[in-house]
Amino acid sequence: MHDVVIVGAGPVGGALALALADADLDIVALDARAAGTTLRGDRSLALSHGARLIFERLAVWPRLAAVPGAITPIVTIDISQAGGFGVTRLVAEEQGLPALGYVVSYRALQAAIDEALARTGIDVRFGVTAASVAEATVVVSGETGTELRARLAVVADGTGTVVSGIARHQRDYGQVALIARVGMERPHGGVAFERFTPEGPIALLPEGDHYGLVWSMTPAKAETMLKVSDAAFLAALAQHFGERVTGFARVSERRSFPLRLEFARPTVAARSVVIGNAAQALHPIAGQGFNLGLRDAYEMGEAIIRAPREALGSASMLAAFAARRRPDRYAGIAFTHGLTRIFATESMFLRWPRGLALALLDAIPPAKTAFTRAMLFGIS
Ligand SMILES: Cc1cc2nc3c(=O)[nH]c(=O)nc-3n(C[C@H](O)[C@H](O)[C@H](O)COP(=O)(O)OP(=O)(O)OC[C@H]3O[C@@H](n4cnc5c(N)ncnc54)[C@H](O)[C@@H]3O)c2cc1C
């Protein structure tokens, strides 16, 4: 019997495995993907300053930093709304920070984590898919009868659907996010833009020599926008930004995915726990989802290291972990969901207060600092 089995060695499960690298425990991590690959297409992940600190401790950050263009610091975040007043600019220097956050590619981050894992003694098994997880027994897909047993199963498979005893709750926002790479006529200078439009928020995240675009819209509109010519796509994007951002030059890799809030309640069952996107998948409006998932991994690592071996996976250990994570999780879910209600909903009654909120945020330094800190480190 293993001490801990980690199902899913994505960015969150991989981070947990790294956090446990020096623990005197029998750990096995399995992932459905083949070594050196990712299952999904690439995407731009917005990492908070807090996430950077965690990846520094896990020796992932220096590996990522050694890859040219893999990390793009965000030095300014410009928040505005189309067709309404109110603008706020969060500036790293004003907060005494080198950067407000960082944009990294999912693939580059995964490669750095895999590389770091390969240098530890952790048993990582690629090409192994879990079919079910119950009471820390993992049944592996395909090979009938293959089971892995452990004291504790930590599920970080991105969906949490394989684990028994954990209910998932869903709230569909009725919108999809269209993501793409957008090239500009001029360098982006590390400035990220969040623009609230009648159709939903649009984010431009500086990444390498281009912007990672996350554009919320109705599913019907997305179907059209995935098909229109590059020129028509860029013209529509430019129209939403007006004078605020100009010089859209190229677009590539257009894809879309449905926007919904999904969360597990409870996050723990008999000898099992879900973390990362398996515990909560949030609307990307404030870039909180991945950072929250990474904090799940870090705190799970601490809880495992602190627990005596016999207590691993016990009801009291899992209840204590769930209680410890609850304020951060609920604050992240409520903050993100609240923002979607205020900023991703079009109503003439909301445009005015929304503009006022942005203007006040810009005019009151302590409010701006508090908001910036929430965006960077989380809300707990
Ligand atoms: C389509 C999409 C687009 C997104 N875009 C953005 C974005 O633009 N910006 C942003 O900040 N965040 C974005 N997110 C959120 C971000 O990707 C997640 O927060 C992050 O990937 C969570 O990491 P994770 O390790 O929990 O899950 P995942 O990244 O999903 O990793 C799960 C891992 O588990 C493995 N796995 C899955 N099932 C099994 C199984 N049964 N057995 C074994 N292994 C398994 C997978 O191979 C994978 O390696 C997006 C999410 C989605 C779904």
Helix H, strand E, coil C: the string for 269-326 is: ECCEEECHHHCEECCHHHCCHHHHHHHHHHHHHHHHHHCCHHHCCCHHHHHHHHHHHH
User: pLDDT digits over 176-205, tens only?
Assistant: 999 999 999 999 999 999 888 877 889 899
Q: pLDDT-based confidence at 353, cuts 50/70/90?
A: low
Q: Report whether the peptide linkage leading into residue 266 is cis, meaning its omega lies within 30 degrees of zero.
A: yes
pLDDT at 344 over 60: no
Question: Higher model confidence: residue 371 or residue 300?
Answer: 300
Whole-angstrom distance, CA of residue 276 vs CA of residue 66: 26
Residue 314: per-residue pLDDT: 97
Instruction: Decide whether any atom of ligand 1 lies within 6 Å of the 31 Cβ.
Output: yes
Residue 355: per-residue pLDDT: 64
Residue 49: per-residue pLDDT: 84
Residue 331: per-residue pLDDT: 82
Instruction: Decide whether any atom of ligand 1 lies within 6 Å of the 313 Cβ.
Output: no
Ligand 1 centroid, distance to 161 Cα (angstroms): 13
Residue 175: per-residue pLDDT: 87
Shortest CA distance to 52 belongs to which of 279, 284, 277, 294? 294
Residue 85: per-residue pLDDT: 63
Candidate from 46-60, 122-136, 361-375 with smallest mean pLDDT:
361-375
CB neighbour burial string for 6-43, b if at least 16 within 10 angstroms, e if fewer: bbbbbbbbbbbbbbbbeeebebbbbbbbeeeebeeebb
Average pLDDT over residues 150-163: 94
Average pLDDT over residues 306-331: 94
Whole-angstrom distance, CA of residue 211 vs CA of residue 192: 8
Residue 31: per-residue pLDDT: 96
Ligand 1 centroid, distance to 158 Cα (angstroms): 5
Cα–Cα distances (Å) from 188 to 44, 72, 184, 200, 297, in that order, read 15, 10, 7, 23, 32
Residue 333: per-residue pLDDT: 82
Q: What is the pTM of this model?
A: 0.89
Q: Are 156 and 292 in contact (CB under 8 A)?
A: no
Tokens of 206: 């500086």
Q: Are 148 and 2 in contact (CB under 8 A)?
A: yes
Query: Which residue CA neighbors atom 41 of ligand 1 most closely?
Result: 130
User: pLDDT digits over 111-143, tens only?
Assistant: 999 999 999 989 999 999 999 999 999 999 876
Indicate which atom in ligand 1 lies nearest the CA of residue 214. 8
User: pLDDT digits over 248-265, tens only?
Assistant: 999 998 999 898 888 999
User: pLDDT digits over 83-103, tens only?
Assistant: 666 678 888 888 788 898 899
Query: Which residue CA neighbors atom 53 of ligand 1 most closely?
Result: 257
Q: pLDDT-based confidence at 346, cuts 50/70/90?
A: low
pLDDT at 276 over 60: yes
User: pLDDT digits over 289-301, tens only?
Assistant: 899 999 999 999 9
Q: pLDDT-based confidence at 284, cuts 50/70/90?
A: confident
Give the chain's mean pLDDT: 87
User: pLDDT digits over 159-170, tens only?
Assistant: 998 999 898 898
Residue 198: per-residue pLDDT: 77
Instruction: Decide whether any atom of ligand 1 lies within 6 Å of the 43 Cβ.
Output: yes
DSSP per residue over 200-230, as a string? EEEEEEEETTEEEEEEEE-HHHHHHHHHS-H
Residue 237: per-residue pLDDT: 95
Residue 289: per-residue pLDDT: 84
Instruction: Decide whether any atom of ligand 1 lies within 6 Å of the 332 Cβ.
Output: no
